[in-house]
C-alpha cells in the first residue's frame, strides 16, 4: 500500500546539483534579494537567473518570480485593476486558488461548465456567462493539457476581456505550437511539491505586457519605489534558496516531461488495447502536447470507481481518486448542486485521477498496473 510518505517521494528527488546550489546560497549569506524601498524588486542572483531562464524558454519579455502560483494569480488580477463589482469567469473543476484569487481582489467568480473529454473550460459555456460586468477569464490548463485557447481568445478579443492562463499544472504543454502560459495576456506557473519544477513552493508569472509586469514587480515587494507610485504592495517575493532549487530542476524539465509523456502514451495504448470502452484514457487535443501532471481515466457506467480503487489498493497499487470537489459546491463560493452537470459528473463517478504514471517509473511497471486493472475488472 502506498503511504503518504511514499506520495511525497513522487517525482525527482533533490540530488547533488540541488544540494550544491543550496549550499552556495547559504555560503553567500544572501538568502533574499530584498532591497526595502531602494527601487524595483529584482531579487537576488538566483531569482534573477531563474527569471532569465524563463524569459528565454518561453520567449517572453517578462518573467516575475513570486512566492506561489496563488500569489501570481492574485497579482495578475490586481495588476489589471479587477476589483469589487467585477466578474471573472473560470472553471469550477480546479484547485481552489484558481477561483479564490478572484475573491481576494473583491470580484465575483462566475463559473462555466467543462468539456467531458478534456476536463477544461467549455468555451461555449463561457460565452454564455459573459455580462457587462465581466472583466476577465481565467483559463485553467488542467492535468497537463491546454484549454481550447483559439476559441477563448476569440471571446476575450471580441468582448474586450483580459485572459489569464493558470498553467500551474501544465509547464511545457503546448497548444498548436505555442507554450501554455504564453497565449493569453499573462501566464502563471507553480513550483510546489507535485510539479515538474519542485522547489517546495514558489511560482512564476510571464507576460509580454510592460505595464502589467511593472505593476506586479511593485506589488510583490510592498509597492515601494523612489517615485512614490500610489500602489498597495505585498510580500510575495521568492527566496534565493527556492530559486536555486528551481533553477536546477528547470534544467531537466523537458527531460522529465518527455519521460512522463512516454510512460503515459504507453499506458494509454495498453488501456485502449484491453479495457475500452469500460475505461477511457486521457484525450489529447490535436496538435497539442499533454504533459500529464496527472493521468485522468474516465470510467463507463459499468465500472464502479470506489470498487475499482479498492481492488487496486488490495493489490498494492493506489490509483488515485476523484481529483477535487467542484468549487461551486463549496460554501465560500455559494453554488448549488446541479448547476454544472459535467463537472459534477466527473467528480462524483466518472473520473479517476492517478499519479502512478510518473517518471522515473519503468514501462514494465505499467504492464504490472495493467495486469492489476485486469484482475480488478474481472
Among 18-27, 108-117, 229-238, 358-367, which range has the highest average pLDDT? 108-117
8 band by pLDDT with thresholds 50, 70 and 90: very low
The arithmetic mean of pLDDT across residues 359-368, rounded, is 84
Share of the chain above pLDDT 90, in %: 79
User: Is residue 105 very low, low, confident or very high in pLDDT (cuts 50, 70, 90)?
Assistant: very high
Convert the pLDDT of each residue in 256-273 to its tens digit. 999 999 999 999 999 999
Q: How many CB atoms lie within 10 A of CB 115?
A: 18
Asked if residue 360 has a cis previous peptide bond (ω within 30° of 0), the answer is: yes
User: Which of the pair, 1 or 15, is modelled with greater confidence?
Assistant: 15
The topology under which CATH files domain 253-377 is: 3.90.1150
Q: Span 218-227, mean pLDDT?
A: 78
Higher pLDDT, 283 or 193: 283
- Going by C-alpha positions, the residue among 117, 68, 121, 131 that lies closest to residue 90 is 121
Cα(11)–Cα(296) distance, integer angstroms: 18
Average pLDDT over residues 38-55: 84
Q: Is the pLDDT of residue 13 over 90?
A: no
Q: What is the pLDDT of residue 9?
A: 42
Residue 10 is predicted with a pLDDT of 46
Residue 157 has pLDDT above 80, yes or no: yes
Break the chain into its structural domains and give their ranges: 4-250, 253-377
> Confidence class of residue 5 from pLDDT cuts 50, 70 and 90?
very low
Average pLDDT, the chain: 92
pLDDT tops 90 at residue 203: yes
pLDDT > 70 fraction of the chain, expressed in percent and rounded: 92
pLDDT computed for residue 261 by the predictor: 96
Average pLDDT over every residue of 136-146: 98
* Beta strand pairing call for 87-90 and 134-140: parallel
pLDDT recorded at residue 12? 53
Quick one: pLDDT at residue 321?
81
Q: What is the CB neighbour count within 10 angstroms for residue 337?
A: 11
Find the range with the poorest average confidence among 93-97, 107-111, 159-163, 226-230. Answer: 226-230
Is the pLDDT confidence value at 164 over 90? yes
CATH T-level assignment (fold) for domain 4-250? 3.40.640
Q: Examine the pLDDT at 347 and tell me if it is beyond 90.
A: yes
Decide: 123 and 151 in contact? Cβ < 8 Å: yes
* pTM as predicted: 0.93
pLDDT higher than 50, residue 2: no
Per-residue pLDDT band at 4 (split at 50, 70, 90): very low
The CA distances from residue 374 to 14, 280, 298, in Å, are: 35, 14, 16
pLDDT of res. 6: 43
Amino acid at each position: 500500500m502506498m503511504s503518504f510518505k511514499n506520495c511525497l517521494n513522487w517525482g525527482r528527488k533533490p540530488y547533488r546539483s540541488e544540494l550544491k546550489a543550496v549550499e552556495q546560497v547559504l555560503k553567500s549569506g544572501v538568502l533574499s534579494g530584498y532591497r526595502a524601498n531602494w527601487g524595483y524588486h529584482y531579487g537576488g542572483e538566483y531569482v534573477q537567473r531563474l527569471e532569465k531562464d524563463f524569459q528565454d524558454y518561453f520567449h517572453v519579455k517578462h518573467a516575475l518570480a513570486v512566492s506561489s502560483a496563488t500569489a501570481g494569480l492574485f497579482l495578475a488580477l490586481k495588476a489589471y485593476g479587477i476589483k469589487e463589482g467585477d466578474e471573472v469567469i473560470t472553471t469550477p473543476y480546479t484547485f481552489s486558488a484558481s477561483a479564490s484569487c478572484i475573491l481576494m481582489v473583491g470580484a465575483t467568480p462566475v463559473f462555466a461548465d467543462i468539456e467531458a473529454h478534456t476536463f477544461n473550460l467549455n468555451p461555449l459555456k463561457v460565452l454564455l456567462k459573459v455580462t457587462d460586468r465581466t472583466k476577465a477569464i481565467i483559463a485553467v490548463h488542467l492535468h497537463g493539457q491546454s484549454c481550447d485557447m483559439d476559441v477563448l481568445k476569440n471571446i476575450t478579443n471580441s468582448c474586450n476581456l483580459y485572459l489569464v492562463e493558470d498553467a500551474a499544472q501544465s509547464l511545457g504543454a503546448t497548444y498548436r505550437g505555442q507554450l501554455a502560459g504564453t497565449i493569453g495576456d499573462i501566464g502563471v506557473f507553480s513550483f510546489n511539491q507535485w510539479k515538474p519544477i519542485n522547489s517546495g513552493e514558489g511560482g512564476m508569472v510571464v507576460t509580454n505586457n510592460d505595464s502589467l509586469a511593472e505593476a506586479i514587480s511593485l506589488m510583490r515587494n510592498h509597492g515601494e519605489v523612489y517615485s512614490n507610485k500610489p500602489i498597495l504592495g505585498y510580500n510575495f517575493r521568492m527566496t534565493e534558496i527556492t530559486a536555486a532549487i528551481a533553477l536546477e530542476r528547470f534544467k531537466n524539465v523537458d527531460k522529465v516531461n518527455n519521460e512522463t509523456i512516454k510512460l503515459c502514451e504507453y499506458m494509454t495504448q495498453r488501456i485502449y488495447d484491453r479495457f475500452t470502452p469500460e475505461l477511457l484514457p486521457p484525450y489529447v487535443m490535436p496538435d497539442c502536447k499533454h504533459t500529464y501532471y496527472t493521468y485522468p481515466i474516465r470510467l463507463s457506467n459499468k465500472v464502479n470507481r470506489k470498487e475499482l480503487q479498492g481492488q487496486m489498493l488490495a493489490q498494492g497499487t493506489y490509483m488515485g481518486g476523484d481529483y477535487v470537489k467542484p468549487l461551486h459546491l463549496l460554501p465560500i463560493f455559494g453554488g448549488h448542486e446541479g448547476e454544472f452537470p459535467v463537472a459534477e459528473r466527473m467528480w462524483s463517478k466518472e473520473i479517476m485521477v492517478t499519479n502512478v504514471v510518473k517518471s522515473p517509473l519503468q514501462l514494465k511497471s505499467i504492464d504490472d498496473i495493467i495486469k492489476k486493472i485486469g484482475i480488478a475488472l474481472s
